[in-house]
């Protein structure tokens, strides 16, 4: 099996080197091996999903927003 360096995978996935290192450290890349200070990543590794960039379903967002507003407006003890 062929392995790529962090720099090569960063170029392939169009992300920064640090992002790839973080994926490896969090064990989000299956088969990634650390030898000394160097990560070796299998050539067939899939790019992990970056959770903060996932889009929420607009209808789910609207429901959550409505619940939060109702709680904010009617959840207080009024005099």
Structurally, the chain folds into a number of domains equal to: 1
Q: Is residue 20 part of a domain?
A: yes
Q: Is residue 39 part of a domain?
A: yes
pLDDT digits (tens, 9 = 90+) for 38-49: 999 999 999 998
pLDDT given for residue 79 in this prediction: 45
Contact call for residues 41 and 4 (beta carbons, < 8 A): yes
Distance CA 39, CA 32 (A): 7
Count Cα atoms within 13 angstroms, Cβ side, for 13: 25
Q: Is residue 78 part of a domain?
A: no
Q: Which residue has the higher pLDDT, 73 or 34?
A: 34
7-23 mean pLDDT: 94
pTM assigned to the model: 0.62
Q: Is residue 75 part of a domain?
A: no
Tokens at 41, concatenated: 């990543």
pLDDT given for residue 1 in this prediction: 84
The boundaries of the domain holding residue 11 are 3-54
- Hey, is 4 helix, strand or coil? strand
Contact call for residues 61 and 69 (beta carbons, < 8 A): no
Q: Is residue 40 part of a domain?
A: yes
pLDDT digits (tens, 9 = 90+) for 57-72: 555 667 767 777 766 6
Mean pLDDT of the residues in the chain: 82
Q: Is residue 72 part of a domain?
A: no
Q: Is residue 13 part of a domain?
A: yes
Q: Is residue 71 part of a domain?
A: no
Q: How many CB atoms lie within 10 A of CB 39?
A: 20
């Amino acid at each position: 099996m062929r392995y790529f360096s962090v720099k090569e995978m960063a170029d392939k996935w169009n992300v920064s080197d640090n992002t790839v290192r973080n994926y490896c450290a969090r064990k989000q890349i299956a088969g990634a091996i650390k030898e000394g200070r160097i990560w070796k990543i299998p050539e067939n590794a899939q790019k992990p999903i970056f959770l903060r960039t996932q889009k929420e379903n607009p209808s789910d967002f609207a429901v959550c927003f409505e619940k939060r507003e109702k709680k904010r407006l009617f959840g207080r003890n009024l005099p």
